[in-house]
Structure 1
Amino acid sequence: MTPPDDASLPALDLRLTEENLDDLYEHAPCGYCTCLPDGTLVKLNQTLLGWLGYRRDELVARRCLQQLLTVGGRLHYETHCAPLLLLQGQVREMSYLLRRRDGSTLPVLLSAALVREPDGTPLAVRVSLFDITERRKYEQELLRAKVQAEEQREQLARANEQLRAKNEQLTRINADLDSFVYTASHDLKQPINNMVGLFEELRRSVTFHDAEAGPMMSMFEDALAQILATIDGLTQVVQLQRAMEQVPAEPVALLPFTEDIIRSLQPAPAGTRFELDFAAAPVLRIARPGLHSLLYNLLSNALKYAAPDRPPRVRVSTARTAHATVLSVQDNGRGIDLTRHHRELFQLFRRFHPEVAGTGMGLYLVNRLARQAGGRVEVDSAVDAGTTFRIFLPQEEAGDSTPDARPLAAPPGPLSEKERGSQATR
């Protein structure tokens, strides 16, 4: 490489080439001092004097370097730093606190080199000191942040432990409640059946002359039927919960599976039309009993709560999002006023159309089954315009991508009572 021509060099201020070495020493950006091997100060630069607040004649030959340090620093210097100087001839970046004249302290990094006589006898120690006030503040901030992080980590660990304990407690409570509901419904069913038998025998063998007896008997019969339906519903909730826990997930082809459920809903209202479109996800991987109960409740509700002035139209379809498969059931029925009822939509025994017979367990069961499968339920509805239920399930389904979509003008042929399964209502 060709050296640059002098003519191409920038012009320099000649004063920069005439730097005074004494001035450079005195006003260097760091502190300098020289002391005897025992620490007696013999020379200090003006920078160091300015840091300490002393005059030169107050320190030179009157103080030792160790006396400028705090008590802890003095012990460290005499027991660690001075022996290292004699052994190695130098030390690097020792952290100390200088004591100023006003009693305040200044954090510094000390580096020193030992000067020896030609025969090896120690002559003097040359010391350089760097102000690390800002660095110390930064280190203290880091230390405080670390302490805070440790405290937050411990708080989070305690919170996680409390949450784990609460979850275990809730799991035990839920299991106990399920066992209680199952036991109670089982134990109540036999006495209620006995009451039904006694009531039938009463109607057969007793003649009532009071004109109000007939309506009262009908009301009592309806009450018994409602109690039996509630008990059956409670039993079904617990049985399905246990079945979902015991039955593994499996690939379920939605088209034939849904057609079987539609057949179990006969007789459907005149003019009922189902549209099935599973092109986006023909197969779901889910526990079969849970999916059956979920679809059965939604489809039976779509027919039960059909608008009285138009034939039911029910569309069952699938779609995909980034992280879920969406199973939708849309109807054109009576709808639900979500402005009033959105908070109680999935509550047990909550009903929104008292004029239609039901127990108020269907939507509760749908929501519980969806959550147990790792998903959630969203609802869009408007009064007298219909309802759409969307079940978001984790995208773990397996199957081919063959489109499955067909409209059904009427449900296929009927199933047996055993195939039909138990019914639930909204």
Structure 2
Amino acid sequence: MSITNKDKNPKGRITETAEELYENAPCGYVSFLTDGTIYNLNTTLLSWLNFTKEEVIYLKKFPDLFKIGGQIFFETHFFPLIRMQGFIQEINFDIVRKDRSSFPGLINVIEIPAKGLNPITYRATIFDITDRKKYEKELIAAKKKAEEDSHAKAEFLSTISHEIRTPLHAILGIGNLLSKTHLNEDQKEYAKILLLSSENLLGLVNNLLDLSKIEAQKVKLEMRDFNINNMVKMLQQTFRVKAAEKNIELLVEMDENVPQELTGDPIKLSQILTNLIGNAIKFTKTGSVSIIIEQLETEKNNSLLSFRVCDTGIGIPQDKLEAIFQEFSQASYDVNLEYGGTGLGLTISQKLLHLHHSEMKVQSIEGQGAEFSFEIWYKVNNNFSSAKEKIISNEDKEILKSSRVLVVDDNPANIYITSQFLNNWNLENESAKSGREALNMLKNKHYDLILLDLHMPKLNGYKTAKEIRALNISKQPILIALSASERGEINYKLQKAGFQDHVPKPFQPEKLLETLVYYLHNPNNIGKENFIEVEEETREEIEEIEIKNKPSETQQLKNTTFDVSKFVKMANNNPIYIDKFIKSTLDALIIYEQEFLEAVDAKSAEMLGNLIHKSTMSVFYIQADKLSILMEEVKTLIEKNVASTEVLQKKSKACSREFHKIIKGLQEIKAEEILALTD
């Protein structure tokens, strides 16, 4: 189409009136009064709605354009927020046409202040986002598939790693036993190779398992007391032989200001340092490897420690410094051929440091060595008591001779290997191939300690332990779990079943012996220092998960304290708006919790009544019926003038816990996860 001169103004520019811009804009415009009455809207919106102006202006209210859920949300959340801040941006509503069909709309509203005789009014823009919703659904589906693929990979790695541990336990155990027998020089070399290869394989399996757990977000920091000097000495002792074989000095430098007794996660710190020291020795042919620990800062009872592992090895090219932290990556193909390894150690270490809100740093000059460093905050523990740091003495040997152990495992190879070690330590032992057989044996004979496999058919280790604890016997045995599962994964379940400790399979003989000696000396120790302390609320959550086992999609969508399914319908499955609804409700509940505490503190039934009225819609939307009932019960107790009784205190604490659970749940819940369950 050509534009002639008469279509242009004198200056040659195309003209368009403000009215034309308004009426034919690519979005809908609507203006309404404080009571919601529409007094103007443009042609674009009318065409979408299939109404005429005469059917809308001064006859319909703005909320009439929404479905019933949107109308309720407009009255309780949307419009009050506009009144507070003067605007609101990008909220999704289903817009209803004249024929009662609907389309998804994205709405922005601004408040127009009163001017002269004109009252306060509101102007909204509406965008038809039908196509956007279609693309968003496709993107969500693609994201869900990618997450499922990632989860499947993590599950596969976890499963296969776990399965490999069972035969590996037999290989490593036989290798250890074989090395203790009378062998000629060739046989000693064969046993040495067998042990070395099985230990390397165990390291690979552990790395794969660690990586899969981290990616599946199943790894969390534990809080335990530990002595850092003892840990470093243990690491130095562990690597001393490997360093000596290569004529490398293994040096430790610890700043005298470093506090010795700390609270944190010693297992993950040890794992990070083990990876770094092992790599440093592997890639160093001459010179030394140094472990340097310094205190950088102190704040109240907390200390920021710096850890450095330096070597005089082959170094890393500058262009490879970032790549070495990627999975299955090493500096070069030649390095992999010469030195071996999976390239997972640094990846795992970096991910473990991220849990500590820290980062691994590296400096290196090719051919001159490398320095890896990181910093972690630890709580300084002034009431530290060391546990299980015992040297095997004559007294220990005597208690071993006078004790009896029962080995419970459905795998004959595992029983044989464990029994052989117990025999070598002169520890009387018997075995059972099932939990039921073990229970029958306990009825006729006393055992000081039971080594119990967790994964057995019919009656697993957890159930067996619970039944043992329920037996009416004169003296309960010590229960030690033997399992290919890492303790961090099963910690609470071990506590609940009545175990005192856990030794992972494949076990190092020294570790098992140390554990046996400790508990035989201290049979009444319930092993608290070996487990994470679990808060009551956390226990309730875990128990609910265990009861559900494999919950249905509906159960997963409905939290034990609230249900966000109404938000899904109101947001028309749009994750952006679901998150906004959740945030709006979360902000309100944080305020309501504070007002509840103030009302209880003031022992004011009136304040509680106002709060209950004000919070009705928020509680209704998330279906937090228990919270509503608890607030009413507290109000009734105050009205009945029982404010000084323990009943009121107990009920108030229960209500506070319910507030806390809901707030915590809303903080953690994600729209994508909700939508994934409703597809």
TM-score by length of 2: 0.28
**Whose relative contact order is higher, 1 or 2, with alpha carbons under 8 Å and at least 6 apart?**
1
Structure whose alpha-carbon radius of gyration is higher: 1
More helix by share: 2
